[in-house]
Amino acid sequence: MPKLIKERVPTPERPVEERIKDFKEVNLGYTFELAKKEAERCLQCPPEYAPCIKGCPVHINIPAFIAKIKEGDIKGALRIIWNDNTLPAITGRVCPQEDQCEGACVVGKVGDPVNIGKLERFVADYAREHGIEEELLREFTEKCDGSKGKVAVVGAGPAGLTCAGELAKMGYKVTIFEALHKPGGVLAYGIPEFRLPKEILDHELKKLKMLGVEIRTDHVVGKTVTLDELLQEYDAVFIGTGAGTPKLLNIPGILLDRIYSANEFLTRINLMKAYEFPEYDTPIAVGKKVIVIGAGNTAMDAARSALRLGAEVTIAYRRGREDMTAREEEIKHAEEEGVKFEFFLQPVEFIGDENGRVKAVKFERTKPLEERDSKGKRKIVGTGEYVTLEADTVIIAIGLEPNKIITEDGRLKTNPDGTIVVDENLMTSIPGVFAGGDAIRGEATVILAMGDGKRAAKAIDEYIRRKRGQNS
């Protein structure tokens, strides 16, 4: 049995004083030597019992790929990962591993859990940088002949990309229809460069294309092309349109200038490179004092982006620190970089100046109750005490709802919150049309969306084979 090493090997990071001046990646990842050292901490639980595999939404054989790292066999490690996840350079960077595979790690019961996410990222990065990925890709592309049928995927976000990749590996010809001018969904418009460099995303997209996946951008399904038209041409359709409609606050002053949804703010920065204005012609107005309302990963991304644009940033949250939904690593980075946190503050009014621009936010102080809500968070109540904080820019990051264009005609059955209704096989109310990710869950994580994409690919394969069996 491997020796139990309680403390994990840390990954190098760029110094704070350097990284707050640009949008380059903060975490530098493991070197070969550091990765092997961290891999030695894995106890190699048998796959049938390994809690880390059960905790992974795409069920990667984690002990097996870590064993290959220990042996120095990076190609073998990548092959194992690719069997279940074709986008490890992305998931290794943005997954909330602490709540999933690492949260279930046996080593974590007595010390730090094995750094599974950073090891996954290491395998993907090392294989890409040393030509190993290219070798393995040739093996996989031989199976991707498109002979089993045609599938349309709506949305090039995590769910759609995963579904497309899995179907391509099974031998289907897959076409993705993406509304925006660049594929990637939240990976492209929502996650900043300092967490997920766009060159990494672009490379992963290129890899999918090498597997035979076609991506058609500037196609709004429901407008440019209808679901019925897709069903006439393709054997099945998968909807992964995500949750791109921001939730806003219905309080006085919401229409004042310089109040952004986090969605708009991050899209301007990430997809349209507003931080490089005037080289890119999409400006973003950020004043000296920015307040970000919310405490999830999106709030952290918005706050850290505003900080890099030169603002003094405060995150205001209606609950306490222990209730924040952001990853611990993102909170830690935000604190290190100088983002301030104000807890138990509920916004009640945006105050404007004579020019119609926001100049302050009025908050009511809240307090927690012992009673908890359906998500396990303590309920809060107002105290009747108010405080006003100055702000010349406000970013609202309180969540997103599903896009509704594809469901507007009423044919797809939806829930009251706008999410698409699916059965246990992720099929919608229209036969042959499947859905997954935030379109059925509401705003969730990248890896949960990818898990849905993988499940849907299997269900689509079974559906098409069953349909052909009935027709033969």
Backbone angles phi, psi at 260, to 5 degrees: -110, 150
Domain termination site, one of 78, 112, 138 = 138
d(C-alpha 30, C-alpha 79), whole Å = 19
Distances in whole angstroms, Cα of residue 114 to Cα of each of 13, 97, 119, 463: 18, 10, 9, 38
Span 39-62, pLDDT tens digits: 999 999 998 999 999 999 999 999
Domain termination site, one of 107, 138, 169 = 138
Structure tokens at 239: 């909807």
Specify whether 386 is located in the same domain as 257.
yes
Residue 4 inside a domain? The answer is no
Residue 465 inside a domain? The answer is yes
First to last CA, the chain: 54
Q: Are 120 and 74 in contact (CB under 8 A)?
A: no
Specify whether 127 is located in the same domain as 21.
yes
CATH of the domain at 380: 3.50.50.60
Residue 11 inside a domain? The answer is no
What is the bridge-based pairing of β-strands 245-246 and 400-401? antiparallel
Query: What's at 52, amino acid-wise?
Result: C
Span 240-261, pLDDT tens digits: 999 888 888 999 999 999 999 9
Whole-model pTM: value is 0.91
Which stretch of 158-162, 183-187, 401-405 has the lowest confidence by average pLDDT? 401-405
Provide the 3-class DSSP secondary structure of residue 304: helix
Specify whether 220 is located in the same domain as 349.
no
Domain termination site, one of 342, 365, 399 = 399
The alpha-helical segments, DSSP class H, found in 150-251 are 158-170, 186-189, 198-210, 227-233
| Residue 417 domain boundaries | 144-244+402-470
pLDDT of residue 275: 64
Which pLDDT band holds residue 281 (cuts at 50, 70, 90)? low
Buried b or exposed e, range 289-326, using 16+ CB within 10 angstroms: bbbbbbbbbbbbbbbbbbbbbebbbbbbbbbbeebbbb
Question: How many structural domains are present in the chain?
Answer: 3
Specify whether 297 is located in the same domain as 411.
no
Q: Any residues with CB less than 8 A from the CB of 276 and at least 6 apart, and which?
A: none
pLDDT of residue 472: 42
Q: Any residues with CB less than 8 A from the CB of 127 and at least 6 apart, and which?
A: 74, 75, 78, 133, 136
Specify whether 297 is located in the same domain as 159.
no
